[in-house]
Structures are given as structure tokens and as C-alpha cells.
């Protein structure tokens, strides 16, 4: 019986110790080296935090081998990893750390200076100071720890944008990842020869699934460096060089590749599985991919992080016309999804409503945040007999005549931009309440041009550059609006609240 992701890794590293687990630039690291180092590191962490388990430990490293090894080390010492974006402004890191209060933060020479202002030094572990050749680990200690960890204990914490200016830390357990991994092995045709072209930032759930594949299937992770997102040509060359078989990407980069017509120039015969999630993949560009990679299996996955990775999938099994949306498909095994209308009644076929999810894939909640947890994880309104929690996604969907779910849009002000989930309210909160640049404003997403626009009321007009500079000190780059419009008066609805919908409508008219 598997109750911990490390149960998979034990089998894999016993079976193929010499196989390459991680390719990081010029370095090829075997499963033996990876597990040895992770166990040593796990013991070091365990000593440093006096045997504490089930607590968050932050990792402030770029996506290199050391990050992967640290995440697995944190599992070995019975705790939950929380990867932090090293490119994020330090103020945002501080907000996260103040909310989550991790036991320890792992970093290196390159990034330690940024943290010294945020945390006391005894809470910081500099990985560059560890001489792994002279460290040993105790299997007994590790076994003892793992015997105390059960499958509903946290594996990781993933932060997601929150409207109050502080991200929410989603707590995900081992069981939900094991479920998804089992589903994927049984359903999607992935096997024990996968080479993963890993492009996902370490703060995305996709990265955590790549870790699951590494542990469960002995997959090799090829790290595609962060900075390459701007250079799809080089990314595809790396896929070709390493005979990558599997990618799980957000559509943004795939659309760029299609628009540059790169697949006609760079052949990828080894690529068998192409998964995508995180935002809508426009069908025109998707069809381009399918035309050039007809040997591959394409899977559209859907799911907010609160239900662990994804809850529905669509294996593309037919031709789709350019103007037809790619369905998000049907529920993954051991997950139930259903659509509720405004009266909390089940929707009929072709009736739009909010997608709700139940099952062991649900997150445990938001860390140190009972109010937000209670608002999003609620009693199933269809079950009045016993406690049963569902997650209301806020996504509007419908079920078509084929029984497939189709994504229609959002109920609220959350957007997906370059794969990142962004609460527009967080941007407004930072500009208006934290930085106090203007008194009233509203962020709107231009879906056509894929840019965030900030409308504001003010006596003076500010340069976009000034906004960008100041907002950039508080928010990561992907959250900084690129266009700023001063208005004499923002449109208000009958309650006097700024009318985001109206701004968005006037925006679409402008584009037409």
C-alpha cells in the first residue's frame, strides 16, 4: 500500500540506480546520487529543526538539480516543501514567509543575501556549505520519520494569488498526488521510458507532477532553464538533443512556437506525449501542433491548484475545427466533478454553471487562513446527510452533447496570464492600498492581446514606467500591468462599485 510518494522512489532507485534522474545543463545525475544526497540532506534538516515533522520548509533556489534534491529531502524528513520564486520581489517573499512561518528556508550563496533581511540566520540553510561527500545518513532515522507520516499529511504548499495582497498557500497532501499519478499511469500511456522536457517553474504544480513521474516511473527530468522561455527555438533544440518524449506545458509558449512556425524546421520524432493545462489553448495553434506531431498523444488537462494538479482531461481523439474550443473533457479517476447553477442545483446538458469538485484530490485548505479556506471549501449542497467538502472552482463550464465539459470563463476577477493564476484584485490592492499611488483603479485583462490594463482615477497623470517600477517592487513581473489609462471617472455599477465588466466591454469594443 502506497501512502507516501517516497514509496515510489524507493522502488525506482532500487530498480534503476544508475539511470539518469536529472539532466541539468552539463550535469547528469543518477537516481542513486539523487536519493543519497536527498537522504543526507533530509537528516541534516531533521537535526536542524529538532525532528519536527508535517511543517512547511521553504526552498529559495533556482530550478536546478539542488532544488529537486531539496524537495525530495524535505519529503524524507517528513515535512512539506514550499518552493519560492527567486525572481519575486523580496516584499512578496516576506509576505509569504510571515503568513506560512516555515521552519527553515533552504537557499544558496547566490540568493542568501536577499533572505538575511527577512529571516533570522538560524532559520536559513545554505546548501552550498554542505559537503555531501563527508555527510552520512541514518536509514533508521528516516524510516522512523516516514512511519509517522500518513497519506493525508502535506507533501507541499503552493502559493496562489489572493485578493488581499498576500498569496494563499494551498496545502496538498501525498494521497492526492498518488491518486493523480496512478490515474496518469493507467490512462495516458506514459511508461517507464519517459524523458521530460521540464519547463514549468518550480512554483507550479506541473513541476510537482514531474517529480511524481521521476519517482514513480523513473522518468528523466531535463531542466530547461527559466531564461529560455523567450527563446522557443533553443527550447525545441534541447528537446531534440535529449530525445524528450513527454512535455507538460502551458499553452503560451506553444502558441509562440506555432506562430513562429518552428515545428516545420525542428523535428521532434521522439515526442510522444504532449500535455497542456493552465489556460485555454487556441484551437488554431493547437491544430498546427497536431499537424506536425501526428505521432503524439495530445491531452488537454484542466484544474485549479486547490484540487491537486488537474481534475478533468481530454485526450484529443478527433479533428477539431479552428473555431471549436478544445474540450476540457471528463473527470480523472477517483474524482467527481459536477456543475451547479445559481440555485445550487445540478445543470442539465448545455446549461452553463459553476464547476465543483469532490474527492480525495481536494487540497487540505489554505495554510494559516481559516476564513479563505471556509469560503472556498464548502459542504456539498447536494448532500445534507453527512459532512462532505467540495471545492467550488469559480469556473463556468457546460457539458456538451458528447458528455464533454467545455470551459466558458470565470465567475470572478481571476485571470490566467502566461500560465500564472492572477487575482486582479491583488494588483489593485497593491497599487491602491499598499503603494497608495492612486485612490481608485481597476485592473482588466485584455484576452486578445494578453496584457493587463490598469484604469485609474487621479488628479495627476503618471507615466507607465513609473507605475511599472513601483509595482515591480511589490509584485512579480507577470503581474505588472503593461498599459495604464487615466480616466476622469471610472464606470460604477448601481452599488457604487467600480464596474470591471463595463471596462472590459468598452475594451472589447475598442479592439473591434
Partner 1 sequence: MEKIYRLLEELHSEYDFAANDGVIEEGVLDSFDIISLVTMIEEEYDVIIDALDIVPENFNSVESIANVIRKSGGVI
Edge-to-edge order in the sheet of strand 440-446: 440-446, 451-457, 483-487
Q: Cα(345)–Cα(461) distance, rounded to whole angstroms?
A: 48
- Do the Cβ atoms of 269 and 295 come closer than 8 Å? yes
Read off φ and ψ for residue 166, nearest 5 degrees. -115, 130
Q: For residues 166 and 483, which CB has a smaller minimum distance to partner 1 in the complex?
A: 483
Nearest distance from C-beta of residue 245 to partner 1, angstroms: 23
Q: Mask of contacts with partner 1, 62-101, x by CB under 8 A?
A: -------------------------x--------------
Verify binding: residue 291, partner 1, rule CB under 8 A: no
Q: For residues 230 and 510, which CB has a smaller minimum distance to partner 1 in the complex?
A: 230
User: Which among 63, 102, 100, 112 has a CA at the least distance from the CA of 79?
Assistant: 102
Q: For residues 258 and 503, which CB has a smaller minimum distance to partner 1 in the complex?
A: 258
Q: What are the counts of helices (DSSP H) followed by strands (DSSP E) for the chain? A: 15, 26
Size of the site for partner 1 (CB under 8 A): 25
Q: For residues 136 and 465, which CB has a smaller minimum distance to partner 1 in the complex?
A: 465
Strands 353-359 and 335-340: antiparallel
Verify binding: residue 402, partner 1, rule CB under 8 A: no
- Do the Cβ atoms of 347 and 398 come closer than 8 Å? yes
CA angle 466, 470, 475 (to 5 degrees): 135
Q: Cα(376)–Cα(392) distance, rounded to whole angstroms?
A: 6
Q: For residues 138 and 233, which CB has a smaller minimum distance to partner 1 in the complex?
A: 233
Return the range that interacts with partner 1 (CB under 8 A); candidates 4-12, 30-38, 231-239, 358-366: 231-239
Return the range that interacts with partner 1 (CB under 8 A); candidates 111-119, 162-170, 200-208, 226-234: 226-234
C-alpha cell, 423? 487575482
Nearest distance from C-beta of residue 469 to partner 1, angstroms: 5
Rg of the chain taking only CA atoms, in angstroms: 23
Buried b / exposed e over 341-367, threshold 16 CB at 10 Å, is eeeeeebeeeeebbbbbbbebbbbbbb
C-alpha cell, 202? 518550480
Nearest distance from C-beta of residue 292 to partner 1, angstroms: 14
- Do the Cβ atoms of 232 and 260 come closer than 8 Å? yes
C-alpha cell, 473? 517592487
Verify binding: residue 267, partner 1, rule CB under 8 A: no
CA angle 67, 70, 72 (to 5 degrees): 115
Return the range that interacts with partner 1 (CB under 8 A); candidates 95-103, 173-181, 230-238, 335-343: 230-238
Using CB under 8 A, which of 138, 189, 231, 345 touches partner 1?
Answer: 231
Nearest distance from C-beta of residue 448 to partner 1, angstroms: 14
Q: For residues 228 and 315, which CB has a smaller minimum distance to partner 1 in the complex?
A: 228
Q: Mask of contacts with partner 1, 179-218, x by CB under 8 A?
A: ----------------------------------------
Q: Cα(268)–Cα(241) distance, rounded to whole angstroms?
A: 9
Verify binding: residue 252, partner 1, rule CB under 8 A: yes
Nearest distance from C-beta of residue 264 to partner 1, angstroms: 10
Return the range that interacts with partner 1 (CB under 8 A); candidates 41-49, 254-262, 328-336, 504-512: 254-262
Return the range that interacts with partner 1 (CB under 8 A); candidates 152-160, 258-266, 372-380, 452-460: 258-266
**Quick one: angle between helices 31-48 and 65-76, nearest 10?**
60
Using CB under 8 A, which of 10, 147, 260, 492 touches partner 1?
Answer: 260
Q: For residues 185 and 229, which CB has a smaller minimum distance to partner 1 in the complex?
A: 229
Residues 430-469 that bind partner 1 (CB under 8 A): 450, 463-465, 468-469
C-alpha cell, 288? 498546427
Please provide the DSSP assignment of 217-238 as one string. Answer: H-PEEEE--GGGGG-HHHHHHH
Nearest distance from C-beta of residue 69 to partner 1, angstroms: 24
Nearest distance from C-beta of residue 141 to partner 1, angstroms: 40
Distances (CA, A) of 5 to 20, 166, 198, 211, 508: 19, 30, 19, 9, 47
Verify binding: residue 265, partner 1, rule CB under 8 A: yes
Which residues of this chain interact with partner 1, rule CB under 8 A?
87, 227-234, 252-253, 256, 260-262, 265-266, 418, 450, 463-465, 468-469, 477
Amino acid at each position: 500500500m502506497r501512502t507516501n510518494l517516497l514509496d515510489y522512489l524507493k522502488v525506482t532507485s532500487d530498480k534503476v540506480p544508475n539511470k539518469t534522474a536529472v539532466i541539468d545543463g552539463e550535469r547528469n545525475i543518477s537516481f542513486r546520487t539523487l536519493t543519497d544526497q536527498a537522504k543526507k540532506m533530509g537528516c541534516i534538516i531533521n537535526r536542524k529543526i529538532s525532528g519536527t515533522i508535517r511543517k512547511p520548509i521553504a526552498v529559495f533556489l533556482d530550478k536546478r538539480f539542488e532544488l529537486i534534491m531539496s524537495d525530495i529531502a524535505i519529503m524524507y524528513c517528513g515535512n512539506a516543501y514550499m518552493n519560492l520564486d527567486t525572481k519575486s520581489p523580496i516584499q512578496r517573499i516576506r509576505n509569504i514567509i510571515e503568513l506560512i512561518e516555515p521552519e527553515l528556508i533552504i537557499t544558496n550563496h547566490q540568493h542568501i543575501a536577499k533572505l538575511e533581511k527577512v529571516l533570522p540566520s538560524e532559520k536559513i540553510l545554505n546548501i552550498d556549505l554542505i559537503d555531501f561527500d563527508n555527510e552520512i545518513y541514518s536509514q533508521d532515522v528516516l524510516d522512523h520519520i516516514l512511519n509517522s507520516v500518513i497519506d493525508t499529511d502535506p507533501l507541499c504548499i503552493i502559493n496562489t494569488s489572493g485578493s488581499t495582497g498576500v498569496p494563499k498557500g494551498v496545502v496538498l497532501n501525498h494521497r492526492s498526488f498518488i491518486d493523480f499519478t496512478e490515474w496518469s499511469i493507467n490512462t495516458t500511456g506514459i511508461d517507464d521510458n519517459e524523458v521530460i522536457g521540464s519547463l514549468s517553474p518550480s512554483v507550479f504544480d506541473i513541476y510537482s507532477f514531474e517529480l511524481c513521474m521521476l519517482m514513480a516511473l523513473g522518468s528523466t527530468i531535463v531542466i530547461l532553464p527559466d531564461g529560455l522561455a523567450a527563446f522557443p527555438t533553443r527550447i525545441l533544440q534541447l528537446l531534440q538533443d535529449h530525445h524528450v518524449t513527454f512535455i507538460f506545458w502551458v499553452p503560451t509558449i506553444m502558441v509562440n512556437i506555432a506562430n513562429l512556425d518552428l515545428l516545420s524546421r525542428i523535428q521532434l520524432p521522439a515526442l510522444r506525449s504532449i500535455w497542456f493545462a493552465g489556460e485555454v489553448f487556441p484551437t488554431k495553434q493547437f491544430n498546427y501542433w497536431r499537424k506536425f506531431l501526428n505521432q503524439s498523444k495530445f491531452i488537454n488537462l484542466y484544474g485549479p491548484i486547490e484540487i491537486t494538479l488537474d481534475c478533468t482531461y481530454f485526450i484529443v481523439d478527433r479533428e477539431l475545427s479552428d473555431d471549436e474550443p478544445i474540450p476540457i473533457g471528463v473527470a480523472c479517476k477517483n474524482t467527481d466533478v459536477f456543475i451547479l447553477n445559481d440555485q445550487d442545483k445540478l445543470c442539465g446538458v448545455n446549461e452553463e454553471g459553476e464547476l465543483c469538485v469532490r474527492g480525495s484530490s481536494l487540497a487540505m485548505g489554505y495554510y494559516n487562513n481559516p476564513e479563505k479556506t471556509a469560503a472556498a471549501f464548502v459542504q456539498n449542497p447536494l448532500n445534507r446527510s453527512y459532512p462532505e467538502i467540495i471545492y467550488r472552482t469559480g469556473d463556468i463550464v457546460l457539458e456538451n452533447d458528447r458528455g464533454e465539459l467545455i470551459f466558458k470563463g470565470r465567475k470572478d476577477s481571476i485571470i490566467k496570464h502566461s500560465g500564472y493564476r492572477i487575482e486582479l484584485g491583488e494588483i489593485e490592492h497593491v497599487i491602491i492600498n499598499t503603494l497608495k499611488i492612486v485612490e481608485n483603479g481597476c485592473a482588466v485583462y485584455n484576452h486578445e492581446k494578453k496584457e493587463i490594463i490598469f484604469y485609474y482615477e487621479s488628479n495627476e497623470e503618471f507615466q507607465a514606467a513609473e507605475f511599472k517600477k513601483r509595482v515591480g517592487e511589490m509584485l512579480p513581473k507577470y503581474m505588472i500591468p503593461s498599459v495604464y489609462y487615466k480616466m476622469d471617472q471610472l464606470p460604477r455599477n448601481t452599488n457604487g462599485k467600480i464596474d470591471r465588466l463595463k471596462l472590459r466591454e468598452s475594451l472589447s469594443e475598442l479592439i473591434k
